[in-house]
Structure 1
């Protein structure tokens, strides 16, 4: 009988993946959780319960599957963690735990977690006889490449845009060089809230951009000494480019569905959206939340006003992929007839952002521009 080991189960992707494995397989799921202020098992089950309720699962979902959830306290720096795992029976590992920091000043920490931690988990997996090692990377190992992005190893001359992406490139190479077990690298794009409830347990990625947009509004109002109500603002971006967002539930459904197909042996898989929304639609929603009535798209920040320079600086990191479309191939999914297409129109994006604003304590920053809240069915 198969069994799973998941890292990062208290996080966004790892938690949703754990729920998906519980719902669509019958195997035990071992969860490697770092010791913390409260007991690891209690903290993990609380996180899973909160995620299950947020995603519309039954209130007793986690309780019903309690006998299959086996929490192991420890981390990958613990030389004795293998002693707390069964010596046999774990066939598949899903490595979701990662540092999401990206700045140069955090490089050592990022690489210690994302590269060294992955190598240690590979060693542990060999020790306990794992059959398949699933590594959750990111589609943005593509760096500054544009156009069609293949499901293949990243070229050695690829230009990453931050330390997080670089650490994932290096970790992918570490994974792909192991030949003692089957390996698969899974590359999600920008993961957002649940497709129907809109809920998320992580406020990074898209939500970081929204948060910074709202903080821009507050700073600009302090600078102006009055409520911000700008008719139009120039911004450097291509409104016709795509920004690849994928709901958390659709992403993990695809991963588990493909991985459990008989004979599945793919080495690299994109978990991306072939019907991704447009940069212009997303930025219009963020701008409205920030009190900006409209955007004019330009190729250069030359001639920007002081307010526009401030907005450009605020959006610069989050907008680094807004200049051209990355078309992520889904050849593996196409092979099984299950490529992901999830259209997101402006109304959907408003609701997605609106959920975040309401649940992240930011509603007071949008008094003049309330965003509608819709649950999609």
Structure 2
């Protein structure tokens, strides 16, 4: 059967890479509809042309739709019924991915937007799979072993990103009896395991910002007691895994942690970065509380390029069980690469692009 795909979140990096993977892997790719916000139409057309050139396919395989997930019917004005009849697979990736996002904006996009996508998906007569991009961090401040089969409201969340992604996943999960759904919960996404390529220096890259901007120091102290595991996963693993699971019959109705089954601690990752950057081992230790105090000073955190909210992950003791993902991905020979083996490419890409503004997150 030829597949007609519908994507939100284009021309975002994960979305455009996922389209490339579906074409490359021979996923019966007939056509793709991409929902694009009006201000992003030019960049979306440029990205579509790159995909056509790289994949050696023609533009008639793609349709860019101007729209907005925060609007009813997703703001799509043209040929709604024709589009709905054609679509076989939906990928909902559009969201606000920002640890410091204000509550109102996060709710509008992540929760209200997902409700609108859900309502639209329910009107698709030929839908074979609805794949929703959540996050492993819907766990909030719950700690200990965290299962893929659980969706438990925690007592609290570390930020509004986590909270609104939890609320959105609850909405999607509630449709599993009506719609063929697969929920993807990635860990913290890092650059490509081989090339280091990414489009945004957030998450672990805040540590690289910190170390790079303190390069003048004679030594580099540890930040707190970083015993918490930081679950970093390369974007190529996320893309390959999602492309497989979205078409795999056994994945219908399941939720997967696309996380590293053997994650490193914050301290181990920090040490890897220091060794790669400066060929030294960290020395001494700055109390985490003191770092948090420093980062309350806006000019200082802007200078260091670190969001205050990132420090919460240095002490959080959650451990993601990914048994279902490991089991089902093994059928396609897909596994999460070891972070230690790609630290060099990750740091190299950062150093080559650290002066380019578009890679950096705006620190508020």
CA RMSD between the two structures? 3.4
- Say whether 1:353 aligns with 2:335: no
Shift of 1:211: 2.6
What's the counterpart of residue 3 of structure 1? Answer: 4
What's the counterpart of residue 123 of structure 2? Answer: 127
Deviation track 1:60-107 (CA, whole Å, cap 9, x = no partner) reads: 324525332221122122645164441312122110011123336x11
What's the counterpart of residue 214 of structure 1? Answer: 212
CA contact (8 A) 1:144 1:321 kept: no
Taking the aligned partners of 1:259 and 1:175, their CA distance within structure 2 comes to: 15
Q: Specify which structure has the higher proportion of helix.
A: 2
CA contact (8 A) 1:4 1:30 kept: yes
- The size of the alignment, in residue pairs, is 339
- Say whether 1:328 aligns with 2:320: yes
CA contact (8 A) 2:36 2:65 kept: yes
- Say whether 1:139 aligns with 2:136: yes
Taking the aligned partners of 2:22 and 2:356, their CA distance within structure 1 comes to: 33
Shift of 1:214: 3.4
What's the counterpart of residue 371 of structure 1? Answer: none
Shift of 1:158: 4.0
- Say whether 1:256 aligns with 2:250: no
Taking the aligned partners of 1:359 and 1:235, their CA distance within structure 2 comes to: 25
Question: What SS is found at the alignment partner of 1:336?
Answer: helix
Taking the aligned partners of 1:202 and 1:49, their CA distance within structure 2 comes to: 22
TM-score, with normalisation over the residues of structure 2? 0.80
Task: Between 27-36 and 153-162, report the one with greater CA deviation.
Answer: 153-162
CA contact (8 A) 1:229 1:291 kept: no
- Say whether 1:185 aligns with 2:183: yes
What's the counterpart of residue 33 of structure 1? Answer: 36
Unaligned runs of 5+ residues in structure 2 are: 358-364
Task: Between 328-337 and 186-195, report the one with greater CA deviation.
Answer: 328-337
Shift of 1:234: 4.8
Taking the aligned partners of 1:141 and 1:99, their CA distance within structure 2 comes to: 14
Taking the aligned partners of 1:150 and 1:88, their CA distance within structure 2 comes to: 36
Question: What SS is found at the alignment partner of 2:33?
Answer: strand
Question: What SS is found at the alignment partner of 1:60?
Answer: helix
Taking the aligned partners of 1:49 and 1:242, their CA distance within structure 2 comes to: 40
Unaligned runs of 5+ residues in structure 1 are: 53-58, 218-226, 364-377
Deviation track 1:110-158 (CA, whole Å, cap 9, x = no partner) reads: 1100000011111111223334321101111122233321002331234
What's the counterpart of residue 116 of structure 1? Answer: 112
- Say whether 1:71 aligns with 2:64: yes
CA contact (8 A) 1:274 1:340 kept: no
What's the counterpart of residue 221 of structure 1? Answer: none
